[in-house]
Amino acid sequence: MTRRGFIITIVKGAALAALPAGALKVLSPSEVMAAIKETPVLWGFVVDTYKCVGCGLCVKACKQENEIPLEVPVSRTWVERYIILKDGRVLIDSPHAGANGFTSQKVNNIEVNPENIAKAFFVPKLCNQCENPPCVQVCPVGATYKTTDGVILIDRKWCIGCGYCIQSCPYGARFFNPILRVAEKCTFCYHRISQGMKTACVDACPFGARQIGNLKDRNDPVTKIIQNERVSVLKDAFGTKPQVYYIGMDENVR
């Protein structure tokens, strides 16, 4: 065998040896679905913090739509109030997830003098439907999964209630459903958006602070905002790749 022939054989052999490794790759159900048919939809969300006034109507609407009792303090979506004082201190609160609005001048039982406030704003939050969701990764029984259109859902009949996903979400988006006793979180109102409706919170917001759209549609207003304006996501460093984008984010937002 010539040296050249020998090298060619080696290369061929290596290529053959490498083939099965690739061929044996285990595909997740969503990958299989995506391989069969590329879905035309990827859900994305935009929150304009300049527009939010902290009325809490979105939280109330969400709780009603998704049957989370109003009186329990957990919620699929919530609104945080940030008050940055002139001396640099940052006060944050979200009483009752912000469902009743923010009418008190007290933050965590501290009376705030409006004179001392440098800036103040509201930040609505919800599940980020992360592209790389740690909550899906850790579920021991696969009860939490990602749909082809990018929404993370929970199988309520399959969840064993271990709470691992709750621990793994950096955003505090998850909790135990107080009635069903399984993991619970925002689903972008999947039952509504898949029927051509908007989410309950988007419909409830009188100021247009919340918008939902299809990120695969270049003409969708939400896609346009993300493409053309300066937006940011929460806790980028965790590598979760959130699909909820914020306009007017402040460095103090946690």
Partner 1 sequence: MVHGAEWTTKELFTYPNEYIYWTIQIVMYPLMTGFVAGAFVLSSLYHVFGQKDIKDLAKFSLVFSFALLIVAPMPLLFHLQQPQRNTEVFFTPHFTSAIAAFGMVYLIYMMIVAAEVWFVYRKHFVEQAIALIGKGGLINFVNRLIFNLLTLGAYDIGEQAVHKDEKLIKVLAGIGIPVAFFLHGYAGFIFGSVKANALWTTPLMPIIFIMSAVVSGVALCMVTYIVIMEWKKFRAKKKHEDQVSVEIKGAEVDVIRKTSKYLIAAMIAAMTLEMLDLVFRGYTAMKSWDILRSVIYGKDFFNIFVLQYLCGNLIPFILLLIPGLTIRRAVIATLLVLLGVFMMRWNVVIGGQAFSNSYAGYMHYSMPIIPHNLEAFKEGAAGALVIAILPFVFFWFFNKFAPSLKFKRDNNE
Task: Give the residues lining the site for partner 1 (CB under 8 A).
Answer: 72-75, 78, 80, 90-94, 96-97, 108, 125, 134, 137-142, 158-164, 166-176, 178, 181-182, 238-239, 254
In angstroms, what is the minimal distance from the CB of 162 to ligand SF4?
Answer: 4
Could you give the CA distance from residue 174 to residue 172 in angstroms, rounded to a whole number?
Answer: 6
The reply on whether position 174 binds ligand SF4 by CB under 6 A is: yes
Spell out, one character per residue from 146 to 165, where the chain touches ligand SF4: x when CB under 6 A holds, - when not: ------x-x----xxxxxxx
Which range of residues in 17-25, 70-78, 113-121, 177-185 is near ligand SF4 by CB under 6 A? 177-185
Name the DSSP letter for residue 232: E
Q: Which of ligand SF4, partner 1, none does 190 bind, CB closer than 5 to 8 A by kind? A: none
Burial of 130 (0-12, 13-18, 19+ CB in 10 A): buried
In angstroms, what is the minimal distance from the CB of 71 to ligand SF4?
Answer: 23
The reply on whether position 190 binds ligand SF4 by CB under 6 A is: no
Contact 154, 182 (CB under 8 A): yes
> What is the full DSSP assignment across 101-125?
----SEETTEE--GGGEEEEEEEEE
Could you give the CA distance from residue 212 to residue 229 in angstroms, rounded to a whole number?
Answer: 16
Nearer to ligand SF4, 129 or 147 (CB): 129
